[in-house]
Amino acid sequence: MPSWPLDLADGFGRVHRDLRISVTDRCNLRCRYCMPEEGMPWVHRDEILTFEEIERVATLFVRRYGFTGIRLTGGEPTVRSHLPLLVGKLARLGVDLALTTNGSTLATTAGDLAAAGLRRVNVSIDSLRRDRFAEITKRDVLPQVLAGIDAARAAGLGPVKVNMVVMRGVNDDEIVDMAGFGRAAGVEVRFIEYMPLDAQHAWTGDAVVSRAEIVARVAAAFPLLDASVAGEEHDAAEPAERFRYADGLGGFGVIASVTEAFCDRCDRVRLTAEGKLRSCLFALEETDLRGPLRSGASDDDLAALIEAAVAAKWAGHAIGQPVFVQPTRGMSQIGG
């Protein structure tokens, strides 16, 4: 009988501790880098994992492999009915339980999610200009999102983080404005390099605003502490490189997935809404867990599938290299 937890390691020695779970492929927004304005062919509800199936898989990752973090994603996770019930089930596992959301319903759901055991939220906002926000998302809901941030803070879901996907020629002129918003609102902004995960396959490298450029623009407006000082607090497995403002008014992070990829220290695996295990956001292959779950597989059976999938994980995504192939599924279908 093995002594648990075991290290879930891949062929490059990376030990995995973070599980991203997509609870739905549906979303009430239509962000340009995520899905077409007309939406996507939704997965039939019978094919989506039940809360009990999600709980079983999550429990296996936590108990057998010592996972310490679970993040719920989508689509938009809050459009999944009765989400606090799932949060309550997963909260009992004692992990760092977080949620990535577009924030449009947080004003009415934050309290229930916090009461169920959710600890933190990341809210996606790609513009602070109402007209531009509506153009990017195809929905005029920026006031509701901002109210949702306030509700999340009031509910104790902190520190609240705000995710901004930076796209050259689209919203990069708001980098400093977003940093200022974070300072004033008491939230930590995460600037994310634009990645090739759009359903339309319209991504080009020219649209990427690099980590170096983002940091330089923010620092010119709001002086930073020396980067080496901020680096002392950096978790090696955390995707965001964090910076602190010299005047003590918080800080911000940059997720440089393209120009300074952190694949060598990645500790994440992903479970899609219909039960496919992905060892990488950009993986071209998936491992089906739903079929075995529904056909009576034991925990050992599931563990064998999980371990084989993780063992085969790539060294890196190879964005910008001739060998790179964009996944056929977009971000909303994979889970952020």
Q: Tell me if residue 187 falls in helix, strand or coil.
A: coil
Structural domains present in the chain: 18-334 (3.20.20.70)
Whole-angstrom Cα distance, residue 220 to residue 206? 23
- The pLDDT assigned to 229 comes to 46
Pairing of strands 69-73, 18-22: parallel
The radius of gyration of the chain's CA atoms, rounded to the nearest angstrom, is 19
- The pLDDT assigned to 330 comes to 57
∠ CA 196-133-141, nearest 5°, is 120
Mean pLDDT of each 10-residue bin along the chain, 336 residues long: 85 96 90 66 89 98 98 94 98 97 96 98 97 94 97 95 95 98 96 75 78 97 76 60 95 92 90 94 88 98 98 81 61 61
Q: Tell me if residue 22 falls in helix, strand or coil.
A: strand
Whole-angstrom Cα distance, residue 34 to residue 29? 9
- The pLDDT assigned to 107 comes to 97
Contacts of 94 (CB under 8 A, 6+ apart): 62
Tell me the two tokens of residue 235. Answer: 């978790």
- The pLDDT assigned to 232 comes to 44
Phi/psi at 91 (5° precision): -60, -30
- Taking the CA atoms of residue 322, residue 329, residue 128 and residue 161 in that order, the dihedral angle to the nearest 10 degrees is -90
pTM for the model? 0.91
- The pLDDT assigned to 206 comes to 82
Distance from CA of residue 252 to its chain's centroid?
16
DSSP state of 172: G
Phi/psi at 165 (5° precision): -80, 120
- The pLDDT assigned to 42 comes to 75
Residue 38, Cβ density class (10 Å: 0-12 exposed, 13-18 middle, ≥19 buried): exposed
Side-by-side strand order, sheet with 268-271: 241-244, 251-255, 188-193, 161-166, 120-124, 96-101, 69-73, 18-22, 268-271, 276-278, 287-288
User: 138 and 176 in contact (C-beta within 8 Å)?
Assistant: no
E strand or H helix at 224, and its extent?
A: none
